[in-house]
Structure 1
Amino acid sequence: MATAGGELHHPVNPGISKLQFAPFSSALDAGFWHELTQKKLNEYRLDETPKVIKGYYYNGDPLGLPARLTLEFSAFDMNASIPARCCPAFGTLYNTNTFETFKSCDKKSLLEKEANEIWESIKSGAALENPMLLNRFLLLTFADLKKYHFYYWFCYPALCFPNGIHIIQKPVCLGERFSLNQIEALQKGYDELCQKEGVTALPYFLIKYHDNSVMISLLKKWDGFFQDQGGKVTVGVYDPCNLSHYPGWPLRNFLILAAHNWGNILQTVEVLCFRDRTMQGVRDITHSIIFEIKLPEKPLGPDCPKAVGWEKNQKGGMGPRMVNLSECMDPKRLAESSVDLNLKLMCWRLVPTLDLEKIVSAKCLLLGAGTLGCSVARTLM
């Protein structure tokens, strides 16, 4: 069932009236931990101050994969490019020096701090100019560089409505609502706007559509874009989720922005969860979902709404995760792997009948460390 915050944990009845969201799942590449190790040793040292990092998410995954937020080795370089058609997300890294500090860190305070920054960007209008401010994340880490064990806990702050969001029209596939001409026009308009803005993806955008035409615009042009729509508003959200009845996490903070900015003049909003998949060389957006929701009647107050977002661990409980990279980062393990490879090459190429188990388990006491002893030692190695 879903929590009060609207997070989806298990499949539920698609006919429910309240909107639920599929949370992000963290995907940290081994290269990220390699780079963090180098940063810790050569730059951060004992510095525990927050660091800005960058990840990305993708709206073209095949069915069955979770909505992933990915961090790679380039996460520490704000000028590094991200893969084509992926949407960037900026976050804050809190790297602790000890495991005790990692465990005792005030998670509630960190979440509230980040949520307040999102809320302030909504109230100031900064999120309207730069919608990526809505999709921030936190990463709390501890790197045990003696064992090459990395402990981490992700958080994707999402502001919540007190009574949730009600669905007026349940989600349906875009292919059931739009004609072929409209789908082609939507795809073309999106690509042209991305190219015009010089970005790989648009996290949020505005949509107007008629019988055979679709128009797309930036979120900041809201006021003039919908003047001729008679109160009908359609927004597009770059959606990393591939479930047929549920939107992904990025929609949550946008709905807070919509309610804050236009809740006094809008009662409903039509949402297009834009999903752009390419399989076997064929691009397809017809599996995107479109639905209509009702904005809350009660206006949001001046204080930051309640926020949720800490990721659950592999067991489904609230707690951190751990990754063991000793096999690919520990010099001792790497040396053992190198020796093992040399022995196997010797067996394969020179002595196929060689009993490697006997060679590996053999021990030799070498007396003398002079010229002859060093030569013998090198030969034995």
Structure 2
Amino acid sequence: MLYFDHAATTPPYDSVIDAVGEVMGRHFGNPSSIHRLGIDAERLTAKARDVVAGLLRTSADEIAFTSGGTESNNLAILGTAREYASRGKHVITTEIEHASVYECFRYLERSGFEVTYVKPDRSGIVRADDVLAAVRDDTILVSVMHVNNEIGTIQPIGRIGRALRDKRRVLFHVDAVQSVGKLPVYPGELGIDLLSASGHKIRGPKGIGLLYKRKGVSLEPILLGGGQESGLRSGTENVPAIVGLAKAFRLTMENREQSAARMAGLRKRLLARLENVPGLVFNGSAADSDMAPHIVNVSAPGIKSEVIVHALEESGIYISTKSACSSGEDRPSRVLLAMGADRQTASSGIRFSLSAEHTPEQIDKLAEAVEAAMEKLRRFR
């Protein structure tokens, strides 16, 4: 089996699996309890928070643990909208956001907010000037993802964030689920007020994520109850997953530069091999500096993406169509359509997502399998 779907989820580190199991078995107390078991659990949670904060170059009290990227995005967007609606009801995002961001803005539209959706260029990159030009006196939030989860384009969040620092009434949220562990992500240096990340994208557990919230920013909670996570996110903390997240975060960030360089080399090798496959169209920017090191997206116009995925699966190779959250839907990619692709191209997009553990030989096997699958499918078209 060859797994090339790391943008969907990653296999956890063995040491993360061990840590989660140990905490579940030995430190099962509720962190809110005042007895020794509860205090031990709270200490583990606090230590994990310190680890994550240090790696992001933030303060521990700016980190809240959530159930994952989707909840972090929902909390950042809906929490901001509800908290600051008295300032204004205009918000800005892009047409290529992950569904957990995009659907939040669709919900806000139905709730009486005005949303500006900024279009990308044909390479899948949103221009910072277009985002900034959309800001108005009644704008309260801008949300732009760092790395697009489908095609891997890097968005100019640094330029946007630093420009928005002068507009103190406008908060800046970044979905960094696909960039943490691959690119430098330091919210304070990039002018980010709210940042979402997820554990299972960096070889940590599923069901755990985090939201960075800059000091001074207020959010209205979307989950009410016991007031955990400094009142931001009620619910008993998932201590084993929190510990696993912190461990995965540390292991990933310690090796980030070497891993990113290795993945970039593998990505370049894959692109070179796929250039020789007739009928494939590359989606994204031709400039390596515009692309994350772990994602390659191509289309085969005239062939449904799901057909290609299952053809490769028969060879023991696992890839994705679109985002894993929407890959089961039989409709064109919203992201590719926003980039100006026609419906045939947008209906045939497939995503290869790499890890630093892949080898050049495995990349070659992938390319050979894609070429064989395409040749077979073209005969039956």
Which range, TM-score by smaller chain? under 0.3
Q: Which one has more relative contact order, counting CA pairs under 8 Å at least 6 apart?
A: 2
Q: Give the TM-score, by structure 2 length.
A: 0.25
Larger of the two Rg values belongs to structure: 1
In terms of fraction of residues, the more helix-rich structure is: 2
Q: Which one has the bigger strand percentage?
A: 1
